[in-house]
Amino acid sequence: MKAVATVRRAPPGVILAEISGYDAADIDVMEGLEAVRMRPGMYIGSTGPRGLHHLVYEVVDNSIDEALAGFCDTVHVHLYPDGGVSVADNGRGIPIDIHPDLGISAVEVVMTILHAGGKFGGAGYGVSGGLHGVGVSVVNALSKRLVAEVCRGGGLYRMSFHDGGVPEGRLERVGDTSETGTTVTFWPDPAIFENREYDYDVLSRRLRELAFLNRGVMIRVTDGRTEDGLHQGFRFDGGISDFVAHLNSSKDPIHRAIVFFSESRMREGVSVPDEVEVALQWNAGYQNNVYSFANTINTHEGGVHEEGFRAALTYTLNAYARTHNFLKDRDQNFTGDDCREGLTAIVSVKLANPQFEGQTKTKLGNTEMKGFVQKAVNDHLADWLDQHPAEAKIIIEKCKLAAQGRLAAKRARDLTRRKSVFDGSGLPGKLVDCTSRNPAECELFIVEGDSAGGSAVKARDARTQAILPIRGKILNVEKSNLERSLRNTEIQSIISATGAGIGEDFDISKIRYHKLVTLADADVDGSHIRTLLLTFFFRYLPEIVEAGYVYAAQPPLYGQKIGNVIHYLHSDRELEVLRVENAGRRMPPAQRFKGLGEMDYEELWDTTMDPEKRILRRVTIEDAAMADEIFSTLMGDDVEVRKEFIRANAGDVRFLDI
Q: Point out the catalytic residue in the list 307, 441, 505, 525.
A: 525
Topology adopted by domain 37-234: Heat Shock Protein 90 (3.30.565)
| Entry field: residues in the chain | 658
Decide if 523 is catalytic. Answer: yes
88 bridge partner residues: 76, 183
Per residue in 343-396, pLDDT (tens digit) is: 999 999 998 888 887 555 678 999 999 999 999 999 999 999 999 999 999 999
Is residue 170 classed exposed, middle or buried when 0-12, 13-18 and 19+ CB atoms within 10 A define those classes? exposed
* pLDDT of residue 21 exceeding 70: no
Structure-model confidence comparison of residues 280 and 409, the more confident one: 280
Phi, psi of 152, deg, nearest 5: -165, 140
Per residue in 255-283, pLDDT (tens digit) is: 999 988 656 677 777 767 889 999 999 99
When pLDDT is cut at 50, 70 and 90, the band that residue 640 belongs to is low
What is the Cα gyration radius of the chain? 28
Q: Point out the catalytic residue in the list 189, 448, 606, 628.
A: 448
> What is 240-406's CATH number, 3.10.20.440, 3.30.230.10, 3.90.76.10, 3.20.20.70?
3.30.230.10
Going from N- to C-terminal start, the domains of the chain cover 1-30, 37-234, 240-406, 426-555+593-621
Phi, psi of 202, deg, nearest 5: -60, -45
CATH code for residues 426-555+593-621: 3.40.50.670
Nearest to 543 by CA among 503, 487, 483, 583: 503
* Amino acid identity at 465: Q
Distance CA 181, CA 111 (A): 16
* pLDDT of residue 33 exceeding 50: yes
Decide if 525 is catalytic. Answer: yes
Give the Cβ contact number of residue 549 at 10 Å.
23
Distance CA 62, CA 390 (A): 44
* pLDDT of residue 318 exceeding 60: yes
Nearest to 130 by CA among 295, 13, 252, 271: 295
Distance CA 65, CA 58 (A): 11
Read off the pLDDT of each residue in 607-626 and give the average, rounded to a whole number: 81
Decide if 199 is catalytic. Answer: no
Decide if 252 is catalytic. Answer: no
Neighbouring residues of 356: CB distance < 8 A, sequence distance ≥ 6: 131, 294, 297, 299, 362, 363, 364, 365
Q: Point out the catalytic residue in the list 391, 523, 546, 598.
A: 523
Structure-model confidence comparison of residues 79 and 13, the more confident one: 79
Which pLDDT score is estimated for 332?
A: 84
Distance CA 116, CA 95 (A): 13
Distance CA 298, CA 329 (A): 40
Which pLDDT score is estimated for 360?
A: 52
Distance CA 646, CA 456 (A): 33
